Structure formats: structure tokens, C-alpha cells
């Protein structure tokens, strides 16, 4: 079986944990989009791995790990990651493959990301400053792009870098009043990347198609989440790639029809890092309760995550555009102890009354929608209407069986299934592998 694991919210849903679990029965795990903006956590016994570029199957020996064409690779981060996991006794020799067509994130991308964000002030996107947007922009622009395969021809790369850095330096100095960077220094780094990475660089599309022919079991690992998709998310507060399931095929050259199941990962609530509208946000003691219990601080940047109730309008949208077969519902344990829990079932539009004396805002009951408006001007007008359910107090972190969950937790899950029209087949009750409930429908 080939599975694709994708986030259905704004990222950090717990994809790393789900991929790690399902990798037990896979031959190959494929990272097909995003870059080191991702932070996927895998917990094995007492060890915690925060993975940014390596596929989350990496902690299991003998699994082939593939980084495909649409991933933007920061070689420095990747080297660090390889060294970090080597210290934990995990070797990648002969089982890591990187696409020759994957684009390379270099120092000038990170600098551009930072300078642009700083220049935007309160209008900033809140990026991870990992150079993701600038690298994808260079990819689309073509003439200033560097791919992993370019490391094979260093003389050509040296000339190319000189042209690119000349251009970037003009922008840095004239637009941002920043100091220029050195093309030679970047080239020296590229030489060392070539030494380290050339043996791993292949045509990953060919590798994957041969593997499919050989009947191998492949797990495709999404990064970010559907609502951060460049085309289908809450633009411009998104990342610069197609992080919805729709990005999977172009991201690795394997058509979606070869995937037996798309599993969408969600949290039992919603989180978001960075700016942008968030209809179910709880910027109050409920949000703080969730943040504290769920340890909701970014894996990549350490920023506190914005927290709010589960949004079935948003998740239903992600389910629809991704043709999601099943849902993995993580962090159910985090909601324990709340008197009541809420699920947003519909949005109603806020109507402004500019002419009224008190300039009040009211909800227009007649303009309710269950279709998520990805356009942020519409989304900013959306008010979440909730189904309020009784909470549960019991600690569920040791529960192994759905029937043993408190009845109110079971009801909460049934509501999610009803509102999203999708079966919840995996339930997370803690970060460890063993803290997972599997359900067969
Ligand atoms: P990803 O980016 O989707 O892989 O998610 P992150 O790793 O950024 O964030 C998910 C966090 O939740 C990590 O710290 C996980 O170890 C943790 N986690 C995953 N599933 C569960 C769960 O069911 N319960 C709890 N309490 N923690 C979980
Ligand atoms: P994983 O794979 C959560 C967010 C950033 C910012 C926006 C743009 O761990 O779920 P970027 O650096 O990509 O240009 O930032 O996207 N973002 C994520 N949020 N989880 C992620 O990845 C994210 N990757 C990017 O916070 O709002
Ligand atoms: Mg993450």
C-alpha cells in the first residue's frame, strides 16, 4: 500500500508522529515539498527527533529516505540533521537519496527572507526566515536558480553564483541598505556540499517509478498544511509551495492515482504560527490552556503557536480539495480538563453597520457557509459558530482502545466525523508511538 500523509490545518498537526508509525510497514518514505521551515517531531522511547528536511521514516533502519524535486534543500541544515541523528546511532549510508532537480537554499535566500520581513513591519507574513519564499521565487524565475544537480559542475556553478550574487547584492544594498555578501564564500560552502552530497544525488522520479514497478510500499510525507498552500491556502499568509495534497504529484513526479490512501492529520484543536486570519482563535485563557498542555511552541522557530478550537469548516475544505480518505486526530489528550469543548460547524458573515450610532457588528444568520473562504478578505469577515459539547476530565494518555475513551471524548470524535464526512481512524493521546489508538471502520 502507498499512503500520503498530509496536514489539514495550518501545519504542526503531528504529521511526524503519524509518518513514523506508518513507516513501520513501508519500504520508502518521501519528503516531497517545503524545506527546513518544516519541523516534524518523532519521539522514540526517551529520544526526541526534530526533523526539518529528512523524511520522518529516517529513525527506522533500512527504510529508504527520498527528498524529491519540489523540496527546497538547505544543505547546511541537512548536514546538521544528518550529524545530529548520527550521534544517536542512526546512519543514512546507502538509503538517503536527493533529487538532482531539488532547488538549493543558499545564504542569500535566508538574508532576503529576513530583510523583507523586517521591512514589512506590522504587515510581515511571519515566515520562519529559512529562505523558503526567496528560494521558490528564484525557482519560478529560473535564471537565478541553483539545483542540487548543479553541484556536479563546480566551474559552471562558480560563474553562475557570481552573476546571482552580483544581482542580489544590488538589491541588498540599494533596497535594504544592507551589507553585500561574498560569492566566493558561498562557492566555498557549495564545494563542501558537493563533497558531502554528490553520492546521494539521483533522479528520484526514476527511482520512485522503478520502486512502484517493484511493488515497494511508499509513504509520502507532506510538510506544512493545506491552509498554508500557496494556491489554496489563506494567501498571502501561506508558505511558498503547494503544501496541500494537490502538491504531492508535482512534488515528486508520482501521480496521485498510485496512492492508495490519503490520510489527513489534524489536531483536536487548531494552531497557527505566523500572521493571518484564524476564525476559531482563542486569544484568552482557553488558548493558553491548550498552549501549555499541548506544548504549543514551534519546532523550527520556538515561537508560541496561536491556539483555538477545532474548525470543521476549515478541515472539511481541506478534506474536499485533498480527497482525504481518513483522518488522524492528534492531541486528543490535550483537551482533557476543559468543562466544555467546541467545534466550529459553520461560519456566519459579520455585517458591519457603518451608519449606526454604535457602529456595532452583528452576525448575518442568513449568510452562513460551510465552505471555507480561502480568500482572506472573506475569511476576516467570517465568524465561527460553534457546537458546544461537554468536556472530559479523565487522563486518557494510556488509553489503547476507542471504547475505553470517556464517552464525551467519543462524542467529540463522532461530531468531527459527522461534520467533516470522514472517518477518524487514528487517534493520538500523547507524543509517543504507543500513545496511539487505531480504529477500523
Ligand atoms: P508536524 O509538523 O505536523 O510533524 O508536528 P510538530 O512535530 O511540529 O508538532 C506536533 C507536536 O505534538 C510534537 O511535539 C509531537 O511530539 C506532539 N504530538 C504528536 N501527537 C501528539 C498527541 O497525540 N498528543 C500529544 N500530547 N502530543 C502529540
Ligand atoms: P510543519 O511541516 C507551521 C508558516 C510560517 C509562516 C508561513 C510562511 O512543521 O507543519 P515560510 O517560512 O514557509 O515562508 O513561512 O508558513 N509555516 C509553518 N507553520 N508548520 C510548518 O511546517 C510551517 N512551515 C511554514 O510560520 O506563517
Ligand atoms: Mg511542525
Cα–Cα–Cα angle for 236, 4, 142, rounded to 5 degrees: 45
Pocket lining: 274 vs ligand 2, CB cutoff 6 Å: yes
Pocket lining: 12 vs ligand 2, CB cutoff 6 Å: yes
Report the alpha-carbon distance of residue 305 to residue 380 in Å, rounded: 19
Q: How far is the CA of 295 from the centre of ligand 1 (A)?
A: 9
Report the alpha-carbon distance of residue 326 to residue 262 in Å, rounded: 7
- Residue whose C-alpha is closest to residue 336's, from 271, 428, 415, 266: 428
Q: Could you tell me the sign of the dihedral formed by the alpha carbons of 342, 344, 348, 349, in that order?
A: positive
Q: Which residue, judged by its Cα, is nearest atom 23 of ligand 2?
A: 224
Pocket lining: 264 vs ligand 2, CB cutoff 6 Å: no
Q: Are 346 and 370 in contact, with CB atoms under 8 Å apart? A: yes
Pocket lining: 4 vs ligand 2, CB cutoff 6 Å: no
Report the alpha-carbon distance of residue 192 to residue 372 in Å, rounded: 47
Task: Kindly compute the dihedral angle of the four CA atoms of residues 438, 326, 347, 10, in this order, to the nearest 10 degrees.
Answer: 80
State the pTM of this model.
0.95
Angle between helices 107-120 and 132-141 (to 10 degrees): 110
In sequence order, which residues have a C-beta less than 8 Å from that of residue 83 and are 6 or more positions away? none
Report the alpha-carbon distance of residue 90 to residue 84 in Å, rounded: 9
Within 6 A (CB) of ligand 1 lie: 7, 11-17, 39-41, 43, 294, 299, 330-331, 333-334, 428-431
Number of neighbours of residue 389 by Cβ within 10 angstroms: 17
Q: How far is the CA of 82 from the centre of ligand 2 (A)?
A: 22
- Stretches in the chain below the pLDDT threshold 70: 350-366
Report the alpha-carbon distance of residue 23 to residue 2 in Å, rounded: 11
Which of 4, 9, 13, 14 to probe ligand 1 with, by most ligand atoms within 8 A of CB?
14
Pocket lining: 228 vs ligand 2, CB cutoff 6 Å: yes
So what's the pLDDT on residue 362? 58
What letters, b where the CB count within 10 A reaches 16 and e where it falls short, cover 259-268?
beebbbbbbb
Q: Is 12 in the active site?
A: yes
Which of 39, 120, 274 to probe ligand 2 with, by most ligand atoms within 8 A of CB?
274
DSSP secondary structure letter of residue 51: E
Strands 96-99, 201-202: pairing kind? parallel
**For the CA of 11, the nearest ligand:** 2
So what's the pLDDT on residue 377? 94
Q: How far is the CA of 94 from the centre of ligand 1 (A)?
A: 29
In sequence order, which residues have a C-beta less than 8 Å from that of residue 345 and are 6 or more positions away? 312, 313, 370, 385, 386, 387, 419
Pocket lining: 7 vs ligand 2, CB cutoff 6 Å: yes
User: To which residue does cell 504529484 refer?
Assistant: 249
So what's the pLDDT on residue 367? 79
- Residue whose C-alpha is closest to residue 438's, from 394, 398, 396, 401: 401
Q: Is 395 in the active site?
A: no
So what's the pLDDT on residue 16? 98
Q: Which residue, judged by its Cα, is nearest atom 6 of ligand 2?
A: 127
**For the CA of 305, the nearest ligand:** 2
Burial of 375 (0-12, 13-18, 19+ CB in 10 A): exposed
Q: Could you tell me the sign of the dihedral formed by the alpha carbons of 214, 200, 241, 315, in that order?
A: positive
So what's the pLDDT on residue 440? 82
Report the alpha-carbon distance of residue 433 to residue 344 in Å, rounded: 29
**For the CA of 222, the nearest ligand:** 2
Amino acid at each position: 500500500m502507498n499512503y500520503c500523509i498530509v496536514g489539514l490545518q495550518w501545519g504542526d498537526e503531528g504529521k511526524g508522529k503519524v509518518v513514523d508509525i506508518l513507516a513501520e510497514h513501508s519500504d520508502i518514505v518521501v519528503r516531497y515539498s517545503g524545506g527546513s521551515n518544516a519541523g516534524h517531531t518523532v519521539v522514540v522511547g526517551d529520544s526526541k527527533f526534530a526533523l526539518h528536511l529528512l523524511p520522518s521514516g529516517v529513525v527506522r533502519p533500512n527504510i529508504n529516505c527520498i527528498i524529491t524535486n519540489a523540496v527546497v534543500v538547505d544543505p547546511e541544515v541537512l548536514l546538521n540533521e544528518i550529524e545530529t541523528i548520527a550521534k544517536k546511532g542512526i546512519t543514512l549510508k546507502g538509503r538517503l537519496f536527493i533529487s538532482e532537480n531539488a532547488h538549493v537554499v543558499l545564504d542569500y535566500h535566508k538574508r532576503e527572507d529576513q530583510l523583507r520581513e523586517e521591512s514589512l513591519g506590522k504587515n510581515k507574513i511571519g515566515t520562519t526566515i529559512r529562505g523558503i519564499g526567496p528560494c521558490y521565487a528564484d525557482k519560478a524565475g529560473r535564471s537565478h536558480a541553483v539545483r542540487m544537480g548543479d553541484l556536479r559542475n563546480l566551474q559552471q556553478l562558480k560563474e553562475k553564483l557570481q552573476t546571482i550574487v552580483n544581482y542580489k547584492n544590488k538589491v541588498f544594498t540599494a533596497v535594504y541598505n544592507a551589507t553585500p555578501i561574498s560569492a566566493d564564500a558561498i562557492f566555498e560552502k557549495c564545494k563542501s556540499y558537493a563533497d558531502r552530497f554528490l553520492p546521494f544525488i539521483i533522479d528520484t522520479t526514476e527511482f520512485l517509478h522503478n520502486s512502484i514497478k517493484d511493488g515497494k510500499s511508499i509513504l509520502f510525507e507532506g510538510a506544512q498544511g493545506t491552509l498554508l498552500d500557496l494556491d489554496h491556502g489563506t494567501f498571502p499568509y501561506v508558505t511558498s509551495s503547494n503544501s496541500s495534497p494537490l502538491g504531492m504529484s508535482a512534488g515528486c513526479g508520482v501521480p496521485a492515482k498510485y496512492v492508495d490512501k490519503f490520510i489527513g492529520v489534524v489536531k483536536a484543536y487548531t494552531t497557527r504560527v505566523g500572521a493571518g486570519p484564524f476564525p476559531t482563535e482563542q486569544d484568552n485563557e482557553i488558548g493558553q490552556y491548550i498552549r501549555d498542555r499541548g506544548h504549543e511552541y514551534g519546532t523550527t522557530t520556538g515561537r508560541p503557536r496561536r491556539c483555538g478550537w477545532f474548525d470543521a469548516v476549515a478541515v472539511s475544505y481541506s478534506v474536499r480539495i485533498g480527497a482525504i480518505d481518513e483522518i488522524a486526530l492528534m492531541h486528543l489528550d490535550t483537551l482533557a480538563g476543559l468543562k466544555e469543548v467546541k467545534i466550529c460547524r459553520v461560519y456566519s458573515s459579520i455585517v458591519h453597520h457603518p451608519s449606526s450610532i454604535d457602529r456595532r457588528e452583528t452576525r448575518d444568520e442568513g449568510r452562513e457557509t460551510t465552505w471555507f473562504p480561502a480568500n482572506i478578505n472573506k475569511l476576516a469577515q467570517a465568524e465561527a459558530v460553534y457546537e458546544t459539547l461537554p468536556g472530559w476530565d479523565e487522563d486518557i494518555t494510556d488509553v489503547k482502545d476507542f471504547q475505553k475513551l470517556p464517552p464525551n471524548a467519543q462524542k467529540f470524535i463522532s461530531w468531527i466525523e459527522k461534520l467533516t464526512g470522514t472517518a477518524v481512524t487514528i487517534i493520538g493521546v500523547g507524543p509517543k508511538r504507543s500513545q496511539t489508538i487505531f480504529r477500523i471502520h
